[in-house]
């Protein structure tokens, strides 16, 4: 009996020891993962270079570990992976392809998914906007010169895993702010005090005007987009009833961290019913409404045409539609080295985008480099009315890291599947490396509109 008890005690000690080893290993793994997340940019560059060499190790275990760790570092790795060359083994090329495909999917998902905000308690307007920026990557701020009265205004928030537009709406309501559509810049949204708030602040002794009865603005958030009805216009032509119309203006905004390539609204997707559940006629079902996306203005407005309704109808019960948004999944950098020795037609493929070097041409005192951009999938990213490709960042860099910017550019050819642009430089670029940055993994995202209780004039 005593011998049995000793055996049981021994086994319990062994199990405890092994369990502690497992816990230690688990903590070590968590610590390793935390260290991976905290790598600085320079550390990450060095680590990626090392791991990319490990992908060609003679040991399978090392190749597997390198591939897994590269994915674990996240989408930042895509900025530092060197493209395969003639010395890269077939197996390493396959592994690089898997790594890119996995990280590109993560990048696309991050772009199309609504950002989340967590803020609770009393906080100033300025600090609330700073927290939103830190948590979401969306640069939202007050304009320069706004009085501290508005910056330091204390508000109370209870935001738990709230979507970006919900969080911003809460700050704007308590802070008496509105979006300044023309005050921002690419990737930045400016919110400014309302006119009424400014007047009240400048005249604190003035009696507050009697508030007019407000109308609830029909709005709907859909992922990274915020949609709202801004205006309803109706007109009755007494001499030509065929010209009667009613237009519903819908404003679409997007999170400022994203720069859409295009946004269109096919009228065929619009379905609306009145307060009696009768369908409302869309006057031109074949129309495709679109607007030019300007990087400095984070919004578009569409005017939806419907038939003029009977005066007994006071509101539209619901309006549903699907907007097609073409979004850049991620900005990729393409590098073409030693341009003087590079053959025209050399190309690189990343995330579905192909960039092609079309050679160097001398034009009087300038040198022109022609660069082509195309995509694997037909997503209307390069339609003729889309000029976004001309905004792609391009520069040359020599072996010492000195940069040379282009002084001019011109379009050579543009179709729905390819655009070729010639960039002009003041020096012969033959000994330089071309750096070309472009949105890649371009995706078309359906944005569902569902607006309720739209009041009629």
The DSSP code sequence of 355-381 is EEEEEEEEETTEEEEEEEEEESS--ST
Do the beta carbons of residue 374 and residue 353 sit within 8 Å?
A: yes
What pLDDT shows up at residue 450? 92
Where residue 136 falls among pLDDT bands split at 50, 70, 90? very high
What pLDDT shows up at residue 372? 95
Mean pLDDT, to the nearest integer, of 302-311?
A: 87
Q: In terms of Cα–Cα distance, which of 355, 381, 372 is closest to 419?
A: 372
pLDDT at 18 over 80: no
**What whole-number distance in Å separates Cα of residue 378 and Cα of residue 112?**
19
Q: Residue 449, Cβ neighbours under 10 Å: how many?
A: 21
- Mean pLDDT rounded to a whole number for the chain: 84
Token couple for 111: 């772009």
Where residue 23 falls among pLDDT bands split at 50, 70, 90? very low
Do the beta carbons of residue 374 and residue 436 sit within 8 Å?
A: no
What are the strands of the beta sheet with 188-193, ordered from one edge? 139-141, 188-193, 177-179
- The burial class, CB within 10 Å (0-12 / 13-18 / 19+), for 407 is exposed
What pLDDT shows up at residue 377? 62
What pLDDT shows up at residue 202? 77
What pLDDT shows up at residue 185? 81
pLDDT at 230 over 90: yes
Mean pLDDT, to the nearest integer, of 367-384?
A: 76
Cα–Cα–Cα angle for 164, 167, 171, nearest 5°?
135
Of the two residues 343 and 15, the one the predictor is more confident about is 343
What pLDDT shows up at residue 38? 61
**What pLDDT, in 10s, does the model give residues 191-209?**
999 988 888 877 777 776 6
Q: How far is CA 287 from the centre of its chain?
A: 27
* Backbone φ, ψ for residue 438 (5° rounding): -150, 150
**Largest CA-CA distance found in the chain, in angstroms, rounded:** 111
Do the beta carbons of residue 303 and residue 249 sit within 8 Å?
A: yes
Mean pLDDT, to the nearest integer, of 48-71?
A: 93
Containing 12, the helix (H) or strand (E) segment is helix 2-37
Where residue 138 falls among pLDDT bands split at 50, 70, 90? very high
pTM above 0.85, yes or no: no
pLDDT at 286 over 60: yes
What pLDDT shows up at residue 176? 94
Q: What is the DSSP pairing of strand 188-193 with strand 177-179?
A: antiparallel
**What whole-number distance in Å separates Cα of residue 321 and Cα of residue 269?**
5
39 vs 3, 26, 28, 30, 192, CA distance in Å? Answer: 54, 20, 17, 15, 37
Mean pLDDT, to the nearest integer, of 258-277?
A: 90
**What whole-number distance in Å separates Cα of residue 431 and Cα of residue 397?**
9
- The burial class, CB within 10 Å (0-12 / 13-18 / 19+), for 102 is middle
Which three-class secondary structure state does DSSP give residue 385? coil
What pLDDT shows up at residue 189? 93
Where residue 312 falls among pLDDT bands split at 50, 70, 90? confident
Superfamily of domain 116-201 in CATH is Baseplate protein-like domains (3.55.50.10)
Where residue 364 falls among pLDDT bands split at 50, 70, 90? confident
What pLDDT shows up at residue 378? 56
Span of 34-38, 116-120, 406-410 with lowest mean pLDDT = 34-38
What kind of fold does domain 330-441 have according to CATH? Immunoglobulin-like (2.60.40)
Mean pLDDT, to the nearest integer, of 127-135?
A: 96
What pLDDT shows up at residue 88? 87
pLDDT at 143 over 80: yes
Residues facing 258 on adjacent strands: none
**What pLDDT, in 10s, does the model give residues 77-114?**
888 888 787 788 888 889 998 998 888 788 777 777 89
List every span in the chain annotated with CATH 2.60.40.
Answer: 225-328+445-455, 330-441
Of the two residues 298 and 21, the one the predictor is more confident about is 298
List every span in the chain annotated with CATH 3.55.50.10.
Answer: 116-201
Q: Going by CATH, does the domain composed of 225-328+445-455 fall within 2.60.40?
A: yes
**What whole-number distance in Å separates Cα of residue 154 and Cα of residue 117?**
18
Which three-class secondary structure state does DSSP give residue 54? helix
Mean pLDDT, to the nearest integer, of 375-386?
A: 61
pLDDT at 11 over 60: no
pLDDT at 21 over 50: no
**What whole-number distance in Å separates Cα of residue 290 and Cα of residue 302?**
7
What pLDDT shows up at residue 84? 81
């Amino acid at each position: 009996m005593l011998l049995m008890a000793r055996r049981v005690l021994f086994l319990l000690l062994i199990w405890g020891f092994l369990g502690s080893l497992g816990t230690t290993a688990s903590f070590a793994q968590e610590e390793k993962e935390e260290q991976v997340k905290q790598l600085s940019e320079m550390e990450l560059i060095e680590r990626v270079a090392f791991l990319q060499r490990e992908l060609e190790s003679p040991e399978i275990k090392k190749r597997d570990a390198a591939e897994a760790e590269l994915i674990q570092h996240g989408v930042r790795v895509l900025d530092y992976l060197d493209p395969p060359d003639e010395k890269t083994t077939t197996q390493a090329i396959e592994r690089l392809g898997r790594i890119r495909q996995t990280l590109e999917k993560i990048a696309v998902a991050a772009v199309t998914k609504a950002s989340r905000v967590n803020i609770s308690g009393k906080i100033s307007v300025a600090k609330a906007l700073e927290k939103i920026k830190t948590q979401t990557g969306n640069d939202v701020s007050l304009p320069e010169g706004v009085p501290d009265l508005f910056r330091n205004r204390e508000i109370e928030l209870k935001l738990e895993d709230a979507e970006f537009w919900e969080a911003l709406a809460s700050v704007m309501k308590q802070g008496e702010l509105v979006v300044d559509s023309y005050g921002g810049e690419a990737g930045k949204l400016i919110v400014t005090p309302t006119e009424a708030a400014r007047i009240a602040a400048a005249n604190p002794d003035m009696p507050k005007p009697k508030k007019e009865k407000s109308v609830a603005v029909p709005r709907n958030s859909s992922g990274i987009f915020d949609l709202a009805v801004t205006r309803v216009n109706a007109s009755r032509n007494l001499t030509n009833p065929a010209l009667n119309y009613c237009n519903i203006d819908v404003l679409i905004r997007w999170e400022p961290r994203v720069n859409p390539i295009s946004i269109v609204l096919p009228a065929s997707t619009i379905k609306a019913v009145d307060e009696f559940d009768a369908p409302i006629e869309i006057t031109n079902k074949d129309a495709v409404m679109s607007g030019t996306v300007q990087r400095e203005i984070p919004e578009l407005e569409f005017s939806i045409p419907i038939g003029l309704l009977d005066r007994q109808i006071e509101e539209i019960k619901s309006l549903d539609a699907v907007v097609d948004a073409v979004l850049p999944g991620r900005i990729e950098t393409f590098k073409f080295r030693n341009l003087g020795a590079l053959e025209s037609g050399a190309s690189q493929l990343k995330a579905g985008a192909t960039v092609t070097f079309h050679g160097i041409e001398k034009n009087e005192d300038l040198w022109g480099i022609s660069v082509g951009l195309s995509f694997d999938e037909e997503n209307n990213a390069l339609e003729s009315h889309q000029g976004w490709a001309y905004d792609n960042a391009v520069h040359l860099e020599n072996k010492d890291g000195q940069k040379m910017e282009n002084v001019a550019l011109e379009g050579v050819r543009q179709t729905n599947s390819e655009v070729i642009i010639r960039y002009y430089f003041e020096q012969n670029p033959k000994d330089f490396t071309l750096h070309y940055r472009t949105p890649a993994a371009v995706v078309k995202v359906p944005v569902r509109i569902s607006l309720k209780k739209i009041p009629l004039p």
